[in-house]
Amino acid sequence: MEGDPRDFLWSTVVRVSGKGRGLLAVTAVGASTVLAVTAGGGAMAATSAAPDAKAPADAAKSITGKERKGNYDARTPSARANYARAAKVVGKETAASEKFRTSLGSQGVVAVDENTGTPAQVTKLNGFLTAKSTKKATEIALAYVKAHPEVFKLSASDLGTLKLSKDYVDDLGTHHISWSQQVDGIDVFGNGLKANVTKAGQLISLQGAPISGLVSQAQAREKAASSTISADAARTAAAEDVDAKLANATASTTAGTTKWSSGDTAKQVWFHTADGLRKGWLTYVNGGGSKIYSHVIDAQTGGLLYRKDLVSEGNGDALVIDNYPGAAKGGTQRTENLIYNKWLPKNAKTLLEGTSVAAFADVNDDNQPNAGETVKVPGTPTTSEYKLVPFQDSSRFCSAAFICTWDPAKPDSWKTNLNQDVTNAFYLASNFHDWLAKPPISFTPAAGSFDAAGGDPVHLNALDGAATGADGGPDANHDDNANMSTPPDGTPPTMQMYLWHSPGKSDDQERWVPASGANDASILYHEYTHGLSNRLVVDATGNSTLNSIQAGSMGEAWSDFYAMDYLVSHGLEKDTTAPGEVLEGKYVAHGQLFRTEAIDCRVKAISPNCVARDGSKGGYTYGDFPHITNRPEVHASGEVWAQTLWDLRERFGRAYALSIITRAMELSTADPTMLDMRNAIVQADLVASGGKNAGIIWQVFANRGMGWFAGVLDGGDANPIEDFHVPPKTATTSITGTVTDKDTGAPVAGALVFIGGHASGYAGDYSAVTGANGKYTITGVLPGTYGKFVVTGAGYEVLGAPVTVKPSGTVANLAPRRNWAASSGGGTVSDYNGPDFSPQCGPQYANDSSQGTGWGSTTGDDNGTPTSVMVPKFITITLPDTVNVTKFSVDPSNTCGDDPTAATGQYKIETSADGTTWATAQEGEFTAANVGKYTELAPTGATAGVKYVKFTMLSPQVPNFATTCPGSTVSGCSFTDMTEIQVFGTK
């Protein structure tokens, strides 16, 4: 073990995000704009900053008592719960399952789901699981499962619950097969079995975490409690959960699914958690605007089991623009026949409702085509329609190269180009649909593309919310953005394109060209690609698993990559050997950076467009993930992945790069990290070329810090450790050691020890659990220095550090401290004030030992009314024993989608022996330097015989708080948060 383990603690942003408040916040940095969205979102947004901007990010554009809710999954409530479950799973591993792991070799992957105890993924990076075969792909996969019950744990009864739901073949001939699990005609949500089999009959991988003992669990649940919540009540509960308004609609029920005339649906499902099987209602609710969600509502209690934000944030002859108005190439209108291209039926006259897209101007943002919002099919016997009318006096950013299409200072000026705007959006989306369907991408109906014939054309809302403001323009929630929601295959997605440049703001206050996203191909193609990635990276039942900060960042990166690949490959944007040329969002940013760097910035590239905010030159590497802007954020953090993909494009050419990048999405494990997706790309090349390019691919990723020894805990880890090595070609060895209590020296039994970054999740390769004597052994480890070596046990701190594994083996003894506040060790939240933002941001997350979750409260009253007066919010933790306290450790970070101003500033820590008489043990003020990490605090008194600890948030980190609010819209004016408190000492 090298170094002091306490020097290496990580802050992670796990899969749980969002309060009863929102994730979407546009924040100003100097003269630029930054959209902050947690992993659950994914809107199109700029993350570039003015080079001289040094002030901290400002606030959310509009903050009310409740912000937008993000993703929630009762199966993965927190990192601490996942660690504990993983420890139980790893502790039950048999000699037979260990032998199976060993048989896969040094690049084998066996990742076990912490809830089901069955594999989330079984695969090899340097070979196939089976030899060539002429048998059916489904038979090959199921035969492998049956042959290895020691790993898959599926009985004949369990195999009988598998229902083939998809088997499609990609353009490399690979079968992508999915089986859902079903009992009594009701599908299990999420869990099932996925298999990938080459055209030669070689098994590439198995995934899905199928449920063992499903039938008996279902029977026990039915016997224990009956369902009392109706489909209508579930729909209502889902809408209320996200503060959405339900449209008046009629309902009909067919084959167990209730459908409303508004497009909402509800279907009964089984939902498996570590606490057992539940019956629930899977709902799809379009609550107007961008409130489009999937939920699973408990059919017995009406409680929340799952929430998925589906929105990923930014007769004839038509005049269309291929790039953007004024572009050197593709910047002037030309004629395109919408019917000849089969985007509209031959008899189309009044509506742009085509074969893959239905477009209208949703100016009031009710997601319905009202009177005055639809566009007549363009074209007359003699002319093409609709000509763009420039508004060149609306901003100093308007020019011949960047033509403005509306005037934010003139009420209703957007009406002038309404027909042109909607028509151009329809053209771009239809065109991109056809492009993605062609090889090498091959996003076809079988793969989940958007088609009217399949019941899920894109509902494209152009000029979304253009009339929602009081001044004849968009309000603060309907500009400078774009988004796309992507429900599972068969349900139509919704794309919303906004106007850019806020009414009432000068060019100095906002640097965007007054234009529409519908006229910027890079923006619209970016949004459309969210549909591609969300339909390809799915679980066994077809639900997108791009949930966490790492997966969400890749979602944004794929969107930039596919959009810019199209524009470059069609000669619409320049890409020579010089770096820094390929710019997403070039139009609305009038040629300046929209992201923080260009997508074609190689590592150490020299170009004005390849300079990071800290002044460093060249493209990003994995270690930059949390620092590209002032915090981890999917658009900025995703630039690491986007630039890496462009490296692959430069090394292999676009055709082959697009092939393996797309195929890798289909091979991906659920909720992948960037390292997981690196592995999937290596496997895609194994399928396409027999692995002959593996060395080059590994080197590309190693150059970007995603080498073999890179470390990441899971998809929610926002602080990965980078590494620049390809896989070593040496024999494997082992790590052994003893885990003891740092304060008492006693062995710690049942602690989970693992290397992060090797298998998605914690119960996989390179992991072990300590025995009664505190000893552990991890076998099959390739020698080298790994960035994240972690130990965690019930009631103990999460301790991590690098570890160097020698060829002869390594002894790594670990000594975590007992954290008496930890809920896993018996610490309980016994009192608090302020609102309870459960299930994601309630007080119980202040002591769950996870920096990815936290306690969020309000700054002033319980409604979050912004004022310049703090109403102190406290939490009391009852310790499991009386303790002599030696240290406190606090992470004061903002959480649940709030910006850094919501982090705790001034604080006070009090202790008590009886819960009645309190004494101050520590007080002070946190600053921005304390955010994102634990700060250890030495008590100043009141340390003996402590049974209760009270932590009080006395102020947020809003600059000049006493005078700033409520005029400012920063998060801290409404909300104050903290992430975690730890209490160390002796019993």
Helix (H, G, I), strand (E, B) or coil at 532: helix
Q: Give percent helix, percent strand, percent coil of the chain, each to the nearest 5.
A: 20, 25, 50
Q: Position of tokens 């719960």?
A: 81
How long is the chain? 987
Q: Which of 863, 955, 956 is nearest to 902 (CA)?
A: 956
Count Cβ atoms below 10 Å from residue 929 Cβ, excluding itself: 8
Rounded distance between C-alpha atoms, residue 478 and residue 289, angstroms: 9
Q: Which pair of structure tokens corresponds to residue 160? A: 């009988």
For domain 317-523+532-536, the CATH architecture is Roll (3.10)
Amino acid at 216: S
What pairing do the DSSP bridges indicate for beta strands 276-286 and 203-207?
unpaired
Beta strand 352-353 pairing with 334-337? unpaired
Whole-model pTM: value is 0.87
**Separation between Cα atoms, residue 701 and residue 641, nearest integer Å:** 10
- Map tokens 């401290």 to a residue: 817
Number of neighbouring beta carbons within 10 Å of residue 690 = 9
> 549-703: same fold as 317-523+532-536?
no
Secondary structure of 437-461 as H, E, C letters: HCCCCCCCHHHCCCCHHHCCCEEEE
Contacts of residue 581, defined as CB under 8 A and 6 or more positions apart, other chains included, come to 573, 574, 575, 598, 600, 609
- Of 455, 490, 548, the closest CA to residue 282 belongs to 490
* Inter-residue contact 810 to 779 (CB < 8 Å): no
Contact 322, 256 (CB under 8 A): no
**Angstrom distance (rounded) from CA 138 to CA 367:** 41
CA atoms within 13 A on the CB side of 215: 10
In this structure, the strands spanning 935-937 and 855-858 are unpaired
CB 531 within 8 A of CB 457: no
pLDDT at 761: 64
Using a 10 angstrom Cβ sphere, with 0-12 exposed, 13-18 middle and 19 or more buried, the burial of residue 382 is exposed
> How far, in Å, CA of 104 to CA of 122, rounded?
9
1 contacts 814 by C-beta, under 8 angstroms: yes
Residue with tokens 């100097």: 30
CA gap 698, 696 in Å, rounded = 5
- Per-residue burial over 73-90, b if 16 or more Cβ lie within 10 Å, else e, is bbbbbbbbbbbbbbbebb
Backbone angles phi, psi at 219, to 5 degrees: -65, -40
The dihedral built from the CA positions of residue 631, 632, 635 and 640, taken in this order, carries a sign that is positive
Neighbours of 902 (CB within 10 A): 32
pLDDT in tens, 863-884: 989 989 999 999 999 999 999 9
Residue 654 main-chain phi, psi, to 5 deg: -65, -40
The closest of 7, 4, 121, 17 to 850, measured between CA atoms, is: 17
> How high is the pLDDT of residue 872?
97
Architecture of domain 1-68+818-987: Sandwich (2.60)
Report helix, strand or coil for 803. strand
- Domain extents for the chain? 1-68+818-987, 79-220, 242-309, 317-523+532-536, 549-703
Alpha helix ranges (H) inside 128-230: 137-147, 149-152, 156-159, 214-224
Q: Residue 721 has what DSSP assignment?
A: B
Q: What's the chain's Rg over C-alpha atoms? A: 27
Report d(CA 375, CA 931) in Å as an integer.
50
Describe the crossing of helices 639-652 and 654-667 by its angle, rounded to 10 degrees: 130
Measured distance CA(459)–CA(464) in Å, rounded: 12
| 549-703 CATH fold | Neutral Protease; domain 2 (1.10.390)
**Smallest Cα–Cα separation from 204: which of 544, 546, 664?**
664
Match 């943002």 to its residue by tokens.
365
CA–CA distance, 13 with 71 (Å, rounded to integer):
12
Q: What is the pLDDT of residue 51?
A: 27
Beta strands 357-361 and 352-353, pairing class: antiparallel
- Nearest-5° Cα angle at 37, 849 to 895: 25
- Cβ(819)–Cβ(859) below 8 Å: no
Quick one: which H or E segment has residue 523?
helix 521-536
Which own/partner contact pairs does 607-610 have at CB distance under 8 Å and 24+ positions apart? Answer: 607/578, 607/579, 607/580, 608/580, 609/579, 609/580, 609/581, 609/583, 610/579, 610/580
Cα–Cα distances (Å) from 509 to 33, 201, 592, in that order, read 9, 60, 16
At 612, is the secondary structure helix, strand, or coil?
coil
Element (H, E) at 528: helix 521-536
pLDDT of residue 65: 36
Q: How far is CA 72 from CA 17, 297, 445, 760, in A?
A: 7, 12, 29, 19
Question: Residue 772 in contact with residue 779, Cβ under 8 Å?
Answer: no
Q: Across the 987 residues of the chain, what is the mean pLDDT of every consecutive 10-residue run? A: 29 32 26 26 41 26 46 78 81 89 91 90 95 97 96 95 95 95 92 96 96 91 82 91 85 87 90 88 85 90 88 74 97 92 84 93 90 88 90 96 96 95 97 97 96 95 93 89 93 95 92 96 97 96 92 96 98 96 96 95 95 89 92 91 98 97 97 96 97 98 97 89 96 96 95 87 84 96 95 91 95 96 94 90 90 90 91 97 97 87 96 96 95 92 96 96 85 94 95
